[in-house]
Amino acid sequence: MAKVRIYQLAKELGMTNEELLEILDNMGVEYKSHASTLEDETAAAVKELIGEQRLAEEAKKAEEARKAIPHRAPVVVIMGHVDHGKTSLLDYLRKSRIAEKEAGGITQHVGAFEVKVASSSGTAGTVVFIDTPGHEAFTSIRERGAKVADIAVIVIAADDGVMPQTREAIAHAKAAGAKLIFAANKIDLPQANLDKVYQDLMREGIVPVAYGGDAEVLPISAKTGQGVQDLLETILITAELEDLRADPNAEAVGVVIESRVDKQAGVLASLLVQQGTLRVGDYVVAGEHWGKIRAMTDSEGARRNQTGPSTAVQVLGFSELPSAGTTFEWVPDQVAAKEITEERRLEREASAAAPEVNRPRNIADLLR
Ligand code: GTP
Ligand code: MG
C-alpha cells in the first residue's frame, strides 16, 4: 500500500492540514510540507491519538449534557418484616408532612406523597414515598416489570432484629438495584437493642457504619418520631450520591402505581411521573389501555394542569383500568394511542395462542 501523504490523512480524519501538522509537530514528526509522506506507524499513531481525543470529547459532551438535566427527588419504598413498623413510619411521615402545611388541606390518596426536608446541615430537598408498605405495593405491582423506587428503607424492629421477611426485603431490593437504608425502629422501647440489629445485619453480610462499614442504620421511633429527621436527611444524602436526574422537557414516562373505579368519577389512576412533564390534555398509553388526561389531582388534593418528574398524581381519563405496575408513556394523539394499544392486544393474543412460558415473578420486579 502506498504511503499516505499528510494532506490525504488530514482529509481522511476530517481535519485541516494545519491541524494535522500541529499534531505532527507535537509528536516530534519531521516533514517538509503537507505533501510529505508518513511512515505507516506514524499514520497509525496519529489515527489512534485522534481516536482517543474524539472519544474523550464525546464523553465530555455526554457528561455535560447529563449535567444539564436537573436533579429529581428520590422515590422511596418502605419494606420490612411483619409488625416492624412500616405502616407506622408511613403514617408518621404523612402526618408530619400535613402538620407542616399551615392550611392543613385535605390530602388525597394518590399512591405516593412528598415530604419536604428542611435541615440545619444544608441537606434540604424533597423525598417521595410510595404510599403503601413494600409488600403491599409489590403485591399489586409484581405482575409488571416497572422500576419504581430508587431507595428502599428496610424497617427492622430493634426489639426483634432481622427476621425472615427482612431478609426477603433486603434480597429483593438488592436484586432490583435499589439503594438500601436501614431503620432500626421502636428505639423508644426499653427492650430495644441496637447492637443486636447491627450484629444481625453483619450476619447478612451487611456492615453498618457504626461497625466501620457503609450500611446506614438509623435508630428511629415511628411512634415518637425520634430519629426520623436523620433518616430523611440520610435518604437525601444517598439520593445525592446517586445523582438522580430527569428531564422535565422530555415526553412523560412513568408508572401506574394504583388504579380503581370510582362510582361517580369513573376510572381513577395514580401515576408516578418519572421523566418529562405530564399535562392535562395529553394522551398516554399504559399496556393495552390508553387515556386522554382530563384532570389531575396531586397528593394535597389540588387540581394540577401539569406535573413533572418524581411526582405522583391521580388522573381521570382512562376508559379502562390500567394495571398497577404498568409503565405509561406519552403519545402524540388518539390515533397513536389506539394503534399502539391495539398492537399490544394483538401481540398478547398471538402469544397466548403459543405455549405459555411461566416466569417466576417477585417483588424485585417492582424495583427493577
Ligand atoms: P404489617 O403491615 O402487619 O406488616 O406491620 P407494619 O410493619 O406495618 O407494622 P405497624 O406499623 O402496623 O406496627 C406494628 C405494631 O408496632 C403496632 O402496634 C405499632 O403501634 C407498633 N409500633 C410501630 N412503630 C413503633 C415504634 O417506633 N415504637 C413502638 N413502641 N411501637 C411501634
Ligand atoms: Mg402495615
What integer pLDDT is reported at residue 368 of this predicted model? 53
What integer pLDDT is reported at residue 66 of this predicted model? 86
Question: Which residue, judged by its Cα, is nearest atom 10 of ligand 1?
Answer: 85
pLDDT level of residue 330 (50, 70, 90 thresholds): very high
* Confidence (pTM): 0.80
**Do strands 125-130 and 75-80 pair parallel, antiparallel, or not at all (unpaired)?**
parallel
What average pLDDT score do residues 122-139 get?
74
Q: Is the pLDDT assigned to residue 298 strictly greater than 50? A: yes
Question: Which residue, judged by its Cα, is nearest atom 14 of ligand 1?
Answer: 83
Running DSSP on this structure, what letter comes out for residue 245?
Answer: B
For residue 222, give the ligand 1 atom closest to its CA.
27
What integer pLDDT is reported at residue 326 of this predicted model? 87
Q: Is the CB of 186 under 6 A from ligand 1?
A: yes
Q: Is the pLDDT assigned to residue 103 strictly greater than 50? A: no
What average pLDDT score do residues 30-36 get?
93
**Do strands 179-185 and 217-219 pair parallel, antiparallel, or not at all (unpaired)?**
parallel
Mutate to test the pocket of ligand 1, among 78, 88, 90, 131 (most ligand atoms within 8 A of CB): 88
pLDDT level of residue 55 (50, 70, 90 thresholds): very high
Q: Is the pLDDT assigned to residue 143 strictly greater than 50? A: no
What average pLDDT score do residues 240-252 get?
94
Cα pseudo-dihedral 334, 340, 346, 350, rounded to 10: 180
Question: Where on the phi/psi map is residue 34: left (φ > 0), alpha (ψ -120 to 50), or beta?
Answer: alpha
Query: How many angstroms is it from 221 CA to the middle of ligand 1?
Result: 10
What average pLDDT score do residues 47-58 get?
93
Query: How many angstroms is it from 86 CA to the middle of ligand 2?
Result: 5
Higher per-residue confidence, 96 vs 20: 20
Residue 290 forms beta bridges with which residues? 285
| Mean of the per-residue pLDDT values of the chain | 88
What average pLDDT score do residues 87-91 get?
92
pLDDT level of residue 88 (50, 70, 90 thresholds): very high
The proportion of the chain whose per-residue pLDDT surpasses 70, expressed as a percent, equals: 88
Q: Cα–Cα distance between 257 and 324 in angstroms, integer?
A: 5
Q: Cα–Cα distance between 5 and 158 in angstroms, integer?
A: 76
pLDDT level of residue 102 (50, 70, 90 thresholds): very low
Higher per-residue confidence, 218 vs 300: 218
Q: Is the pLDDT assigned to residue 134 strictly greater than 70? A: no
What integer pLDDT is reported at residue 154 of this predicted model? 95
Q: Is the CB of 83 under 6 A from ligand 1?
A: yes
Q: Is the pLDDT assigned to residue 194 strictly greater than 70? A: yes
For residue 80, give the ligand 1 atom closest to its CA.
7
Helix, strand, coil percentages in the chain from 3-state DSSP, rounded to 5: 35, 25, 40
What integer pLDDT is reported at residue 136 of this predicted model? 56
Q: Is the CB of 111 under 6 A from ligand 1?
A: no
Question: Which residue, judged by its Cα, is nearest atom 20 of ligand 1?
Answer: 88
The bound ligand whose nearest atom lies closest to the alpha carbon of 160 is: 1
Q: Cα–Cα distance between 77 and 152 in angstroms, integer?
A: 5
pLDDT level of residue 342 (50, 70, 90 thresholds): very high
What average pLDDT score do residues 100-126 get?
72
| Start-to-end CA span in the chain (Å) | 53
Residues, CB within 5 angstroms of ligand 2 (ion): 86-87, 133
What integer pLDDT is reported at residue 365 of this predicted model? 55
Q: Is the CB of 62 under 6 A from ligand 1?
A: no
What average pLDDT score do residues 166-177 get?
85
Query: How many angstroms is it from 89 CA to the middle of ligand 1?
Result: 8
What integer pLDDT is reported at residue 171 of this predicted model? 87
pLDDT level of residue 258 (50, 70, 90 thresholds): confident
Q: Is the pLDDT assigned to residue 30 strictly greater than 60? A: yes
What integer pLDDT is reported at residue 361 of this predicted model? 55
Running DSSP on this structure, what letter comes out for residue 357?
Answer: P
Burial tier of 9 (Cβ tally within 10 Å: 0-12, 13-18, 19+)? buried
Query: How many angstroms is it from 222 CA to the middle of ligand 1?
Result: 8
Query: How many angstroms is it from 28 CA to the middle of ligand 2?
Result: 72
Q: Cα–Cα distance between 26 and 96 in angstroms, integer?
A: 64
What integer pLDDT is reported at residue 142 of this predicted model? 47
What integer pLDDT is reported at residue 353 of this predicted model? 80
Query: Are the C-beta atoms of residues 103 and 322 closer than 8 Å to each other?
Result: no
- Lowest average pLDDT, out of 88-97, 203-212, 220-229, goes to 88-97
Residue 110, all three cell numbers = 394518590
What integer pLDDT is reported at residue 132 of this predicted model? 73
